[in-house]
Amino acid sequence: MSLEIQRLISQIQDMAQVAARQVAELEHLIPKAEGALHAHAGEDPQELIEKISRAGQSWRGAIPTSEAIDAIFSTPPIPSKFTALGADGSQILPDRHSLALYYLINTGSIVVQHGSGDAPLTASHPRIFYEEQDLYPTGDALIKSEWIVALRDVAEMAELARLADGDQGAPSLALLDNGLLLWIVGQEGVIPSTQIDRLKTEYQRSMQRIRTSGSALAGFVDRPRSANVIRMLHLAGLPKEEISDEALRAHPFQRLNDGMLFSRLLSAGQRSARFGIISPINQDFSLAGHGIQFFYLNSGYRDQIARIEIPDWVGENDALMQLVHAGIVEECRTTGMPYVLARAHELAVVSQSDRQTLERALQAFLMEQGLQVEISQKERAKRWLGLGRRSTRRSHLL
Amino acid sequence: MSKNPVLIARVTRCSTRSFVGASRLPEPDVPTFGSFCKASAQRGQSEVIGLIYDIRIEDDEFTRQIAIASDPPREQLADNRFSRLIPIEISCLSVGYRIENEFTQRIPPQPPMTLDEVYALTDDEVREFTAGLDFVPLVFAAPGLAADDLVTAALQHAARVRAKNERRGFLIEAGRVCAKYLSVDLPRLERLVRSLTP
């Protein structure tokens, strides 16, 4: 171990004190935010929507839906039979110290048929990218990591669509381990806009396949830090004529987030009202018929608060909403996050040891082709230093 | 009892004295303590014969969460028992090798290599290998093993793959071999012979 913890002790103590002070300050704000939520729930929703329209393009708050903003919903009955689908992905980014230049995307997925007693169906789909057009898609520079992450996001949604297509019979709930908006859409300049459009189209096509299959779709965000509802409450308290960028920035609930507010309001299994997301990406998704809403949920596992994102077509369909709500609560019962997402992650994750096994195989096949290749000396030295001691839990050789 | 070779593991680490393999076989196919297996060595020129002395099923925090949950769904139990990548680790004592179809009951010249396949010995192979019992002292000499239980399990396994009318004679001969090595410890020999008695 090279980090000298002893030398950090006083800094860690200071850090803990600051954290405790911040928590106390935020605790003080929560009742005020709660009061604002109830107060504005009784007002004309049209008034709030008008204020939101005055807030400008850069404001990132929530917009009410047909549900009262302080509404709370208890867990609907858990269906005796339903299918939970989960997909997750991981990647190996190109590394110039590696044996060869390549990247890899692996998606893991699982289908659990609740009420059947059967072992779930699992799958993983690893794919390695090594051709010139994969590595240098714009001709000159090596593909950026953001682009690879976006390809992974698209692959995750495509995998969910594949599972939803094949699912017949019991109602099914398709879950992703994240929000549902494709992050790269808001990152113009990182990759060419034509490529963003292509990725977005493919992603939304998969969402449409899930919709057509009759499945519900939801994204699960654990420990959310977003403050869309908090910003909305501040905006709702401003007189219309005082709404300006400056007034919106200087709000009394700074650093308070939605999760903190709803952890006070929601008991085990309860969900908040649905809200819309104000953002250019969501506008774009709305135009394609897949605008995103969200709500907060106490999963029932140690009072964990999660943010659940759903497309409009789920939010406005009572049966699908009930399945999302009850299904996620049931899925969280043993592991604190949806079981299918925990397992999809396990099936997708590429560990350091997996990577080394892959590279050993790659080295052997390259040698068969007469190519003598090695990792860089820097990488080799890092591996020597990172080896550590062997676990004592392993059974010994005689 | 197998008529055809069954893949039971791949080697993860090894020495000339022993090797360890990992597998994710479903429950009924997990090999048993005291059964014989083989793994290729010397780039396929020889096969190391192993005697399984330990089978370990690892757990993890995720499994523990399921185990302590009240009324976990049956699907999650089935997933963790049959589908999850929880390796079964099989430890094998090297008790011989085969070169050009001839078995030798000594420590092999080389261990198998990492990721080499480990197969259960077929019934015919077990019969042929245990035609001689020179592997018995290798087991007694191995440090830290439950040697008596392992010898008993291996010999009973070898007896079961023989015709019924040959089993008793085989076990009597096996008892004689054990007596040679345990004659200085009569209570131990008595226990072992009693456990071999059909």
Q: Residue B76 is nearest to which of A336, A339, A394, comparing CB atoms? A: A339
What would the two tokens of residue B9 be?
A: 């593991």
* DSSP assignment of A7-45: HHHHHHHHHHHHHHHHHHHHHHHHHHHHHHHHHHHTS-H
Whether B132 contacts chain A with CB within 8 A: no
Q: What is the pTM of this model?
A: 0.81
User: Are B83 and A122 an interchain contact pair (Cβ–Cβ within 8 Å)?
Assistant: yes
The nearest CA of chain A is from the CA of B3 a distance in Å of: 29
Grouping H, G, I as helix, E, B as strand and the rest as coil, residue A240 is: helix
- Substitution target in B76, B88, B145 with the highest count of A β-carbons within 10 Å is B76
User: Are A333 and B75 an interchain contact pair (Cβ–Cβ within 8 Å)?
Assistant: no
Distance CA B14, CA B21 (A): 9
Q: Residue A395 is nearest to which of B78, B91, B143, comparing CB atoms? A: B91
CA dihedral B139, B145, B149, B152 (to 10 degrees): -10
Q: Give the CA distances from residue A195 to residues A145, A149, A190, B91, in Å, rounded to whole numbers and listed in that order.
A: 14, 13, 10, 52
Which chain B residue lies closest to A118 (C-alpha atoms)? B75
Q: Enumerate the residues of chain A whose CB falls inside 8 A of the CB of residue B145.
A: 398
- Nearest alpha carbon to residue B54 among A64, A370, A398: A398
Place of tokens 């939520």: A37
Q: Tens digit of pLDDT per residue, chain A (398 long)?
A: 678 888 999 999 999 999 999 989 899 999 999 999 999 998 888 899 999 999 988 899 999 999 999 999 999 999 999 999 999 999 999 988 888 899 999 999 999 999 999 999 999 999 999 999 999 998 889 999 999 999 999 999 999 999 999 877 779 999 999 999 998 988 878 889 999 999 999 999 999 999 999 999 999 999 999 999 999 999 999 999 999 988 998 888 888 999 999 999 999 999 999 999 999 999 999 999 999 999 999 999 999 999 999 999 999 999 999 999 999 999 999 988 999 999 999 999 998 888 888 888 888 888 888 887 777 777 777 777 765 544 444 556 77
CB pairs under 8 A between A and B: 70
The nearest CA of chain A is from the CA of B62 a distance in Å of: 8
Whether A364 contacts chain B with CB within 8 A: no
Q: Enumerate the residues of chain A whose CB falls inside 8 A of the CB of residue B65.
A: 334-336
Distance CA A341, CA A338 (A): 5
